[in-house]
Amino acid sequence: MRIFVAGATGVIGRRLVPLLVAGGHQVTALSRRTEVPGTETVLGDVMTGSGCPSCWRRRGRTY
């Protein structure tokens, strides 16, 4: 499954993303500052909207 995770380096995201990747999912991770291993990382911020619209259109689920 294709999944988008906002806050991929936050408290929940940094635990959730490796589980999704290990489960064989295609993960797009939104992060403000750093690349997230095993994912297609989009640098952006949900508060400003930077980077968000393009990655939402490409994924089936959003967390």
Instruction: Extract the tokens encoding 57.
Output: 């259109």
CA distance 28 to 62: 9
Report if pTM > 0.85: no
Q: Is the C-alpha dihedral spanning 45, 40, 5, 58 positive or negative?
A: positive
CA distance 60 to 37: 20
pLDDT in 10s for each residue of the chain, 63 residues: 888 888 899 999 999 999 999 999 999 888 888 899 999 998 887 767 666 656 656 556 655
